[in-house]
Amino acid sequence: MEGNDTESLIVPTLFLVLLLACADLWAAHHFGFGIRNPSWLAVIASALGAGWGLVGWLFSKKEKEKTLEKAGRAFRKIILRPTLIQVLWAVFLMAALLFSSVTIVAEPGFELTKASVGRLSGGEGASHSPAEGANQVRQWVVASPLAGPYVVRADGYLPTLVEAAPLLGARIRLGRDVERSPSVLIRTLGSAKDALSVQARLRVFKRTGGDLKEIAKSEPGQEGSFLVGRGRFNARDRLEYWERELSVAGAVGEGQVNQHLLDWSTVHRLPLEEDLTPGDTLVIRVVSGENGEFASQEIVLEAVDILDLLLRSSI
């Protein structure tokens, strides 16, 4: 093979290898598959070098040149045609500019259960759970600004808008880029507390206009305190505050303080129909089918992780 024929293979080969490397990194970043480490290029180069060394050992110089010439001609005609490589680059660049991804990463110490990515004008997208052993959700999308902003929703966190840039995509870290949804810890006092130990229920409603929608309720006979929302709560961190609260208010006798603290230390997380957001109006009631309503209070949620509420009896 003449020198200029050999040299003519170098440029298209470099462009082809570069295309394969870029496509692999892009697919791994946005779709989660591919060889993340481009060291596979070194493997290919080593294999080609070993093959060339074997040819040199098995054949004479003239036979080697003829073999290389045939292989180069076939490879160049099929794979290294400049037109084909240009088309492949055009297809890749079009895909890279049109498609992107949004990756939702769980907050350290918290489990990500479900998350979704939907268009701002197209409603909530389909929910996805992390793959086994992973603590993140990745969803490919049409790149912004072509598709506009996206709404990211994750259980226990407030919805947030993101732009999925071409090539890079968007990476959302829950707890840092997205605020947690507020939660309410409800403790009862007086006859409301006593009623819950029998057959009464704690019922939580969300006010929407003039309507009330029930979003959580306790089981009959459940005693203790009740957590509405997905926040994390450790009762031991609040015992000292609760003790001061009872002493200052004089709501119970001195001998009953420890019993109340012990009861409130048992925290029941109530199943929640929908996540809470700041500004929501909640109506919280302790009711019994036979004896009516023992306590009722209306609150407006603020942007806090956990609101500690003492619900006093109304009768």
Over residues 29-44, mean pLDDT: 63
137 exposure class (CB count in 10 Å sphere: 0-12, 13-18, 19+): buried
Over its C-alpha atoms, the chain yields an Rg (Å, rounded) of: 32
Digit-coded pLDDT (tens) for 185-236: 999 988 888 888 888 999 999 998 889 999 999 998 888 899 998 887 888 8
Q: Higher model confidence: residue 247 or residue 290?
A: 247
Looking at the fold, whether 121 and 59 belong to one and the same domain comes out as no
CB-CB contact of 294 with 286 (8 Å) = yes
Q: What CATH number has the domain bearing residue 136? A: 2.60.40
Based on the domain organization, do 300 and 187 belong to the same domain? yes
pLDDT of residue 3: 47
Residues 157 and 261 reside in one and the same domain: no
DSSP 119-166: ETTS----EE-PPTT--EEEEEEEPTTTS--EEEEETTB--EEE--BT
Asked if the structure places residue 88 within a domain, the reply is no
Domain boundary among 80, 110, 134: 80
> Which of 276, 264, 281, 288 minimizes the C-alpha distance to 229?
276
Q: Are residues 10 and 128 in the same domain?
A: no
Quick one: 10 and 76 in the same domain? yes
Contact between residue 182 and residue 306 where contact means Cβ atoms under 8 Å apart: yes
Residue 90: pLDDT above 90?
yes
Residue 15 confidence (pLDDT): 87
- 26 closest CA partner among 187, 108, 130, 140: 140
Find the domain containing 280 and state its range: 183-311
Q: Within this chain, do residues 192 and 304 fall inside the same structural domain, yes or no?
A: yes
- Asked if residue 160 belongs to a domain, the reply is yes
Peptide bond into 82 cis (omega under 30): no
Task: Tell me if 299 is assigned to some domain.
Answer: yes
Which of 36-50, 173-187, 274-288 comes out lowest in average pLDDT?
Answer: 36-50
Measuring CA to CA, how many Å separate 210 from each of 56, 116, 214, 278, 298? 88, 30, 13, 19, 13
What's the residue count for the chain?
A: 315
The count of other CB atoms within 10 Å of the CB of residue 46 is 10
For the chain, give the percent of residues with pLDDT over 70: 78
> Are 31 and 105 in a shared domain?
no
Which pLDDT band, with edges at 50, 70 and 90, does 286 fall under?
very high
Say yes or no: 297 and 191 in one domain: yes
Co-location of 66 and 132 in the same domain: no
Residue 93 in any domain: the answer is no
206 shares its domain with 306: yes
| Tally of structural domains, the chain | 3
